[in-house]
Every structure is written in C-alpha cells, then in structure tokens.
Amino acid sequence: MTTADEILAGKPETIPTLLDWRIKQTPDKEAFRYRGPAEDQWHSLTWSQAGKKIEWLAAGLVELGLQIGDRVAIVSSTRIEWILADLATNVAGGATTTIYPNTHGEDFEHIITHSDSQLLVAENESQLEKLTGCETANQQVRNVILIEGEGQDERVLSWQQLLDIGKAALSKTPDLLEHISEQITGDSLATLVYTSGTTGLPKGVELIHRGWSYEGFAIAQIGIIDPDDMHFLWLPLSHVYGKCIAAAQLAIGFIHGIDGQIDRIVTGLGELKPEIMCGAPRIFEKVRATVMLTSRTGIKSKIARWAFSIGRASREPRLAGRKLPMPLRPAYAIADKLVFSKLKQKIGGNIKHFISGSAKLSAQVQAWFYSAGILVIEGYGLTESSAISFVTRPDDPRFGTVGPPLPGTLVRIDDDGEVLIKGPGVMRCYHKNPELTAEVLQDGWLRTGDIGRLDDAGHLIITDRKKDLMKTSGGKYVAPAKVETAIAASVHYVSQVVAVGDGQKFISALLTMDHDLVMNWAGRHQMANQSYETILASAEFYESINRGVQLANTKLERWETVKKFAILPTEFSVYDGGITPSLKVRRAIIAQRYADVVASLYAEEKVAGEED
C-alpha cells in the first residue's frame, strides 16, 4: 500500500515550485486552449507562455501590496484568466478565496469579510457592483482587477494594467518572486474555499499547498488522465472539484480545453475532441434524457431500442474483461456503427472516459452509457478533503461505487456507518471556527457526514448524508439520495427531486421539471401552444411522470417507494435560496417553503387516522 510520504517523496510541495517544475518539464508543450474574445476562435498557451503571464500577474499583485498569506478573492466564471489569477496569487505568496459567480447578497459579503480578502479579481462590472453594494466588504478590499472592462481609477484596474505593473516590477527587481517562493512551505495556506452547506452562512475551508501537490501526484499515479490527453474544463473553478483538476494538471501536464459556458459543452466537445471530461451527474442525466426523448418514434426509435438491448447484453462480459460471444459480437459491432458511434461523435469522438463527481451518480445512468461503449467513472470527496478522495479505476469499473481511495488516503467506517478519511488532502481547519473544526477533525480523521460501506474489493459505496436519513412511522430508515437518484434516472423530464416523508407512513417527492424537455414532450402530445403551467397541470403530463416514478420504484425497497409526488411550477434556484451555489438542494428551506404541498400529500392519511 502506497503511503502519502512515498507519493510526495522528491516532489515539489508548493504551488510555486510545482508550477516551476512543470514548466521545466514541458516548456513548449501546450498547456491551455481557450476561447478568445470573439468566442468563435480557440487560442493556445504553452507552459512557458503561461508561466510568463503568471509571473507578471504575481509581481503585479505584490506591487499592489499583497503580503505572504494575504487573501485574493476571485469571482468569475471558468475561464483562462481564473486559472492564471489563482496560480499568480499562490506564486505571489497569497491564498485564493473562491467565490461562485452566482453568489450574491449576504453570502457574498460574508465570504469577502470573513476571509479578510484584500484584493478582488472580478470578471466584469456586474461582479464589481456586488462589492460596491456591500459597505463593509467594499471598505475592506484595497484593489479590484477587472478581467473584462477598463480600469476606472487607482483602485479599480484592468487585467492589462495588472500585467503592465508586474512587467515593470520584474524589470526593476528580477528576483522578486524567488524571494517570496522561499518563504512558502507545504503547510502554507493556498486556497480558502467557502462551502455553502444547506443551512447558515458558508464555511471557509483552509486547504494548504502540500494538499494540492498530493492530490495532483496521487491522481497521476492511478493513471486516469495521461500527459497527452486533453481535459475539457467547464467545471466551476470556485468549486473544489474544478480546483483539484487544475492541481492535477500541474502534476501530470495534460492540456486544459477551457470553456465555462454550460450551454456550450456539447459544442466544445465537438470542436476540441478531448479525451477526458469531468462533470456533475446532472450533465450525464441530461444527455441520456435528451437522447432517449429524441428517438421515441419511427424506424430510428426501433433501431435505437434494438442497439441498446444489445448494449445491455454486452455489459456483463465486457465488465468481466471477456470477449463478446457469438452472435453478440457482430450484433454489437452493428449497434455501434448504427447508433453508438453517432453518440460518440457528438461528444468529440475521442472520449476515453468521463469522470463524475460532486454528487451521487445513478448506476442506471452509468450502465446506459456503458451500453453505448462510453465509460463514466465516479469519484468522491468533500471540499474538506480537496475534492477527490476516492475514484473508480477505468480498468475496474463497478457501477454504484465511487472506487477505492487515492493512494495515500486512509478510510475507515465508523460504528454508525459514517465514512472517515485521513490523508494530506484533508483540510487544515475551518477558517476562524475551531469549535466546528474539533467536531469534524478528530485525531486527523475527517468525519465526512456520509454513510457508506466498503465492498469486498475495498470500493466505497455511499448511501446518504448521515443527517438526511428519514425514518418512517413504521420505523424504517430511508436515504433520500437513493430515492432521488432513482427518480432522476427514471423520469426523463425531471430537473430536481426532493424526497420527503420523515415520520410519515410512506415516502413522497417534490419534483421540478426541465423546461426544454417538458416543451419537447408538449410538442409530441399536441400541446405545443399551451402555456408551461398548463402543461405541468395536465393529467396527461402527470401520468407520463407517474410512469417514470413507478419505474423508479422498481429499483427501490418496498418502504423506500414513492407513493405520491407533486410537480412544482418552477425550479429551485440560488437566487430564491432553494439551492446552494454548488447546486445542492437546501432541504430545510424547501420543506418550509412547500410545507402546504407536503401536507397535502399526506392529508388523506391524516383524515383516515382521525376516523380510526
């Protein structure tokens, strides 16, 4: 068993030394491909070119007064400037405070002030306005750098102005950054990631330089991404998952193809033809739903259904590493040529595998992709463990598990089923919160709050959040995530699912719908001219959803099955407080907001009880 010390032996342990090592390893190799201002053209940077820009930016930050350990907040969508600003902050001796671009109001001000961020890198003026609208935060931040837009005064500078300031500083003092690098250690703070949680204000998670170096080299060791691969990066870099993949790039040297616009993912895959893409389960669920809903009638539908039946039959021998028997072998080749190859071409044609993380992926969705010859492996971790603590190995996929731990990460299951993790990726502490730190960090073990078990091969199976478990009036425990994942995989039109029923006789669900997929359904059911609200309220649409719910129920234990559900008129959003910036549902808020809807699902039960 490989230890963390063995993984890091002789390796650089800080971001500045890791970046310098990578540049020296592959100076002329392409590092980044990204959309330019015109958005229809791709631009490229080699490692040495990127390194030079990072040096200029870092020196510019130092000239603006950045001291060792100072925080620089970044609020922007995923783009090349985010990565450069983040690396420059670490090279300058600072620590990055990450802020989701959709964060606003009280949460935005809390992150700025609680982190003591002195500088802010803002994507555009609309992000700048969030700062100027928060009196305390606005007074605290000394300088703002605008990625888009012109500098306004000595305080608000443009991206180009920061580059120019840095160039001038290095021209005067060429060894400026070398002196700073010598003062940074593996234990220095590198990143302050604020995790939203589902209640209260966001918590700041302190992640150190050595942790990122460990994550990068541990991922390199298991071979899920090769140096010559291109990874399509759309994940929010404000999320620890995106940041972890960025750290892995420094250790491995693969190319990042960058486009943070979610509505351009399929376009980007087709244009860049990458080998790897990391994503959240919702992306894979939506691809599957779209394919299934666009091939429902006519000869194409019959061919697709036949192809996937062949794909299903092929799964067992392929997962076991056996050759397909006759006559399945030629049948699968035909299915691939007629159906699966077209799906692969839509996602670029070169994908080795997808990597799913940030939430539980349905084994049913994994199996569907695998039927088509597309492997989706799954990883698991928390913000508090630098994102990736477990990941399925591509040569041993086990659907429904998140794989074994990274080499150097230890795991044990507590008496109550809680998963505990120990290793260099685990956070230093919660920022300014020793009490909460003491609750979750005990003798170096991180209490994840997740319930799980290890299979016979040491692969982790996560069942639910410890605090989310529901108990029916019959005494049965139900994991909401299991119910929600089953529905999301079986009801193609659904966007969000919240299982309810704690203390009740049975489980129910609140469902929101994907607008585009609902309108697709309407077009096929002679309701295209009806309003969205009318469609959702129609008996025909309800019955369509009910069929999917009943299908989901076949994947669940009897006491987990959903007896009733309600279709809500709108999706939950960050702006109404229904979901966090990382798109996790705030259960308590949803339960309170829709208490009358939930009550109506159990109204008949209460009446029956009163009559008894």
Q: How far apart are CA 388 and CA 235, in angstroms?
A: 14
> Is 227 part of a structural domain of the chain?
no
Looking at the structure, tell me whether residues 154 and 68 fall in a common domain.
yes
Q: Find which of 183-192, 479-488, 603-612 is predicted with most confidence, using mean pLDDT.
A: 183-192
- Phi, psi for residue 577 in degrees, rounded to 5: 80, 5
- DSSP conformation class of 92: T
Strand segments, DSSP code E, in 181-286 are 189-195, 203-208, 230-233, 255-258, 276-279
Peptide bond into 330 cis (omega under 30): no
User: What pLDDT score does 479 carry?
Assistant: 86
Looking at the structure, tell me whether residues 308 and 386 fall in a common domain.
yes
pTM over 0.85: yes
Q: Is 461 exposed, middle or buried (0-12, 13-18, 19+ CB in 10 A)?
A: middle
Looking at the structure, tell me whether residues 162 and 119 fall in a common domain.
yes
pLDDT tens per residue, range 13-26: 999 999 999 999 99
Looking at the structure, tell me whether residues 127 and 44 fall in a common domain.
yes
Instruction: Taking residues 521-543, report their average pLDDT.
Output: 94
From 449, 466, 483, the end of a domain falls on 466
Q: Is 138 exposed, middle or buried (0-12, 13-18, 19+ CB in 10 A)?
A: middle
Domain CATH code at residue 17? 3.40.50.12780
Q: How far apart are CA 194 and CA 229, in angstroms?
A: 30
CB 273 within 8 A of CB 349: yes
Nearest 5°: CA angle at 297, between 348 and 263? 35
Q: How far apart are CA 5 and CA 143, in angstroms?
A: 40
> Is 557 part of a structural domain of the chain?
yes
> Is 588 part of a structural domain of the chain?
yes
Looking at the structure, tell me whether residues 393 and 494 fall in a common domain.
no
Task: Tokens for 512, please give them.
Answer: 């929101």
Domain CATH code at residue 537? 3.30.300.30
Looking at the structure, tell me whether residues 448 and 516 fall in a common domain.
no
pLDDT tens per residue, range 374-428: 999 999 999 999 999 999 999 999 999 999 999 999 999 999 999 999 999 999 9
When pLDDT is cut at 50, 70 and 90, the band that residue 198 belongs to is low
Looking at the structure, tell me whether residues 478 and 456 fall in a common domain.
no
> Is 237 part of a structural domain of the chain?
no
Place of tokens 């032996």: 9
Looking at the structure, tell me whether residues 184 and 141 fall in a common domain.
yes
User: What pLDDT score does 499 carry?
Assistant: 94
Look up the domain containing 534 and give its range.
469-611
Looking at the structure, tell me whether residues 474 and 460 fall in a common domain.
no
pLDDT tens per residue, range 227-243: 999 999 999 999 999 88
In one-letter notation, the amino acid at residue 57 is L
Give the DSSP per-residue string, 326-390.
Answer: TTHHHHHHHHIIIIIHHHHHHTTS---EEEE-SSPPPHHHHHHHHHTT-EEEEEE--GGGTS-SE
> Is 267 part of a structural domain of the chain?
no
For the chain, how many structural domains are there in total? 3
Looking at the structure, tell me whether residues 52 and 147 fall in a common domain.
yes
Residue 494: beta bridge partners?
513
CB 372 within 8 A of CB 354: no
User: What pLDDT score does 585 carry?
Assistant: 85
CB 337 within 8 A of CB 330: no
User: What pLDDT score does 296 carry?
Assistant: 60
User: What pLDDT score does 197 carry?
Assistant: 61
User: What pLDDT score does 199 carry?
Assistant: 58
> Is 229 part of a structural domain of the chain?
no
Place of tokens 């290890």: 454
pLDDT tens per residue, range 430-475: 999 999 999 999 999 999 999 999 999 999 999 888 888 888 888 8
Looking at the structure, tell me whether residues 460 and 475 fall in a common domain.
no
> Is 266 part of a structural domain of the chain?
no
Task: Tokens for 461, please give them.
Answer: 């199976």
Instruction: Taking residues 325-338, report their average pLDDT.
Output: 96
From 170, 187, 220, the end of a domain falls on 220
pLDDT tens per residue, range 157-175: 999 999 999 999 999 999 9
Please count the residues of the chain.
Answer: 612
Q: How far apart are CA 474 and CA 217, in angstroms?
A: 49
Task: Give yes or no for residue 146 having a pLDDT over 60.
Answer: yes
> Is 238 part of a structural domain of the chain?
no
CB atoms within 10 A of CB 201: 14
Least confident of 447-461, 525-539, 585-599: 585-599
Looking at the structure, tell me whether residues 381 and 441 fall in a common domain.
yes
- DSSP conformation class of 265: H
From 195, 220, 245, the end of a domain falls on 220
Where residue 508 falls (left for φ over 0; alpha for ψ -120 to 50; beta otherwise) is beta
Task: Tokens for 286, please give them.
Answer: 């939506």
CB 254 within 8 A of CB 331: no
The percentage of the chain sitting over the pLDDT mark of 90, rounded to a whole number, equals 79
Task: Tokens for 549, please give them.
Answer: 């719910």
